[in-house]
Amino acid sequence: MSKKLLDNINYPADLRLLKKNQLEQVSKELRNEVIEVVSETGGHLGAGLGVIELTIALHYVFNTPKDKLVWDVGHQCYPHKIITGRKDRIRTLRKGGGLSGFTKRAESEYDPFGAAHSSTSISATLGMATAKKLSNDNNNVVAVIGDGAMSAGMAYEAMNNAGAMKSRLIVILNDNDMSIARPVGAMSKYLARLLSGKIYFSFRETIKLILSAFSKRFSKKAGRAEDVLRSFVTGGTLFNELGFYYIGPIDGHDVNNLVTILENVKNSKHEGPVLIHAVTQKGKGYKPAEQSGDKYHGVSKFNVLTGEQSKGTSKAPSYTKVFANTLIKHAQNDTKIVAITGAMPSGTGLDLFEKKFPERMFDVGIAEQHGVTFAAGLATEGYKPFAAIYSTFLQRAYDQVVHDVAIQSLPVRFAIDRAGLVGSDGPTHAGSFDITYLSTLPNFIVMAASDEAELVRMINTSVNINDKPSAFRYPRGTGLGIKLPDIKDVLEIGKGKIVSEGKHVAILNFGARLYDCKKASEILKKKGITSSILDARFAKPLDEKHIIELASNHEAIITIEEGSIGGFSSHVTKLLSDREFFDKGLKFRSMILPDKFLDQDTPEKMYKTAGLDFENIVQKVENVLNSNVVIAKNKNLS
């Protein structure tokens, strides 16, 4: 068996030793490697397969890491990681102690900017390009943006700024859904090569010669020659108006042509930013991913031959599906219910809603800011918008939540998916802050589901909240497999539920840690410590009646939530402080996420690291009660 070219490529410098005609073979080998790796680790597959040739061409032409290469979103970066010194660790991808599923500055000098949320690359590279200019550094700066990231306004804000500054910046638009480009043919490829040539940048007369090959009448309009030609190739007018020199569309899977164009741009003396429009196919080279780009965007482990993904053994439905199916039931009875997502229809379950109500589901693209204000506009007209957005992505629209929703007290319903820790996606996708950043806002109702039945009740409740905004958070993954209530089963606003009663300690749970609270309570009971458990349900408004009763009848209060400081526990603390319980000797402890970003791992290990599993709850209770004395007395009694 002949040795693969990829075997000798550990860094881009090794890649640059190859002849140009060997790059197609390297592309095939790298594509197969990515498929094999992700089949074992799970992760983002389609986007990486779509940029194989682009990855090779960029590292072949540019002198990385001195030349800076920034991947937008970051889930396109698996091929990049393999050829930038991480090949021997690539099968630790998304595992505890292993490689991140996204670019990460602390991981490699080849990752100059960490990215997991989209549309940041142009802003970041513009900053880098400006710094280099100030430092008289002539190295190149390249941004690769795509996979929907151009639907976000931040990208255009950055382009507008870059064009006005006339910065030396190269942007690659990885267009993998044909949303902008017309079909790519031999003529557009030929023209793109000519347009990127350094001769063109030096001599405008070259344009006249090219145009005359098509029609003599074009040559009479020499003053508009550039615009005419680039418009002939494709619709580059928008980018031109933003101050970018536009090249494309080009075939993003023709590695040799990519190398030629990138070399032309690199060697040009052109002043100002350049945009190269490369058309790629998401999932390229692997049929299951080509045929179902959405389902193969992010995958679990899968069989390479069949494409079949590993299924979990749980028979319980996912929280996401429970949300979608419950909303569908309500929408069948209420024509005012509409749903909004930000480029995540399947991730939020709204693809199911869209099948039933295609006219009432709106995918606004990766544009959470717009999505929130769009929902606010719908609410002003009497509609009942449900904005289903991951907790970590809703952060991008916080000003709109404050200004456009909360201040006006508009009844937008926020379905906050992926609330809390998310396992292998790591800190960039963890929903750590939504309890805090929503509970601080006047006019907000903030709920958290402890199980899938509670999620149904919270959806039911939010349907009828017509005078203020509301939010309900729920975790990633499957529920507990319990029976779901009817859609008429609603909650009393601001009222929790007593789950168990004891006399020593009261555990106030907010969210999906309730099962661990119950397990901890059982262990404590065997040690002679009895506990009351309140499933609080609401961080705002608080269930003041129950909390005050529990504080009056227990030696200690413990709060637990899967969120940062400033959330549920902070509101409980203020209530108890205002009522002078601490002056009366009440012991209080809060269990929250630690004040650091937790790297990816299995959910079980992450909860243990965060101190939010049942063992840590037991230890917290014992410590606050000085329970060694209690336990010793119980042993003597026995």
Instruction: Map residue 249 onto helix, strand or coil.
Output: strand
Q: Give the pLDDT mean for 478-506.
A: 97
If one counts every other C-beta atom within 10 angstroms of the C-beta of residue 633, the result is 11
CA dihedral of 504, 569, 347, 354, whole degrees rounded to 10: 100
Q: Give the pLDDT mean for 577-586.
A: 96
Q: Give the pLDDT mean for 112-132.
A: 93
What is the C-alpha radius of gyration for the chain, rounded to an integer number of angstroms?
28
pLDDT in tens, 296-305: 676 778 787 7
Q: Are strands 298-299 and 245-251 parallel, antiparallel or unpaired?
A: unpaired
Q: Find where tokens 């043919």 sit.
A: 185
**Whether the predicted pLDDT of 212 surpasses 90:** no
Is 368 annotated in the active site?
yes
Given the residues 53, 226, 263, 368, select the one marked as catalytic: 368
Indicate the angle between helix axes 255-267 and 186-196, nearest 10 degrees: 20
**Whether the predicted pLDDT of 105 surpasses 90:** yes
Higher pLDDT, 324 or 305: 324
CA dihedral of 140, 146, 152, 154, whole degrees rounded to 10: -10
**Whether the predicted pLDDT of 331 surpasses 80:** yes
Instruction: Map residue 403 onto helix, strand or coil.
Output: helix
Pick the CATH number of 498-637 from 3.50.50.60, 3.30.365.10, 3.40.50.620, 3.40.50.920: 3.40.50.920
- Give kind and range of the element (H or E) at residue 561: strand 556-561
pLDDT value of residue 388? 98
Residue whose C-alpha is closest to residue 506's, from 496, 313, 471: 496
pLDDT value of residue 369? 95
Given the residues 68, 81, 132, 282, select the one marked as catalytic: 282
pLDDT in tens, 522-537: 999 999 999 999 999 9
**Whether the predicted pLDDT of 230 surpasses 60:** no
Q: Is the dihedral of CA 274, 279, 283, 286 positive or negative?
A: negative
If one counts every other C-beta atom within 10 angstroms of the C-beta of residue 322, the result is 23
User: Which class is 5-288 in CATH?
Assistant: alpha beta
Is 282 annotated in the active site?
yes
Q: Give the pLDDT mean for 544-566.
A: 98
Higher pLDDT, 59 or 235: 59
**Whether the predicted pLDDT of 468 surpasses 80:** yes
Please provide the average confidence, as pLDDT, over all residues in the chain. Answer: 88
Q: Give the whole-angstrom CA distance, residue 442 versus residue 438.
A: 9
φ/ψ of 258, rounded to 5, equals -60, -45
> Could you tell me the CA-to-CA distances from 412 to 142, 339, 404, 469 in Å, in that order?
39, 10, 10, 5
Q: Find where tokens 């023209």 sit.
A: 191
Q: Give the whole-angstrom CA distance, residue 284 versus residue 51.
A: 8
Q: Give the pLDDT mean for 143-162.
A: 88
**Whether the predicted pLDDT of 193 surpasses 80:** no
> Percent of the chain beyond pLDDT 70?
87
Residues with Cβ within 8 Å of residue 125, at least 6 apart in sequence: 68, 70, 113, 141, 142, 143, 169, 171
For 286-344, the three-class secondary structure string (H helix, E strand, C coil) is: CHHHHHCCCCCCEECCECCCCCCECCCCCCCCEHHHHHHHHHHHHHHHCCCEEEEECCC
CA dihedral of 606, 608, 612, 615, whole degrees rounded to 10: 160
Residues with Cβ within 8 Å of residue 523, at least 6 apart in sequence: 614, 618
569 sits in the region (left: phi over 0; alpha: psi -120 to 50; else beta) called: alpha
Higher pLDDT, 98 or 307: 98
pLDDT value of residue 192? 60
Tell me whether the CATH fold assigned to 319-473 matches the one assigned to 498-637: yes
Given the residues 104, 396, 473, 513, select the one marked as catalytic: 396
Q: Give the pLDDT mean for 88-102.
A: 93
pLDDT in tens, 333-354: 999 999 999 989 999 999 999 9
pLDDT value of residue 223? 44
Q: Give the pLDDT mean for 258-280.
A: 92
Task: Enumerate the domain spans of the chain.
Answer: 5-288, 319-473, 498-637
**Whether the predicted pLDDT of 413 surpasses 80:** yes
pLDDT value of residue 496? 98
155 sits in the region (left: phi over 0; alpha: psi -120 to 50; else beta) called: alpha
User: Which class is 319-473 in CATH?
Assistant: alpha beta
Q: Give the whole-angstrom CA distance, residue 430 versus residue 366.
A: 18
Q: How confident is the model at residue 170 (pLDDT cuts 50, 70, 90)?
A: very high
Which amino acid is it at 278? Answer: A
pLDDT value of residue 53? 97
**Whether the predicted pLDDT of 637 surpasses 70:** no
Q: How confident is the model at residue 146 (pLDDT cuts 50, 70, 90)?
A: confident
Q: Give the pLDDT mean for 283-301.
A: 75
Residue whose C-alpha is closest to residue 414's, from 372, 331, 471: 471
Is 589 annotated in the active site?
no
Q: Give the whole-angstrom CA distance, residue 586 versus residue 287.
A: 63
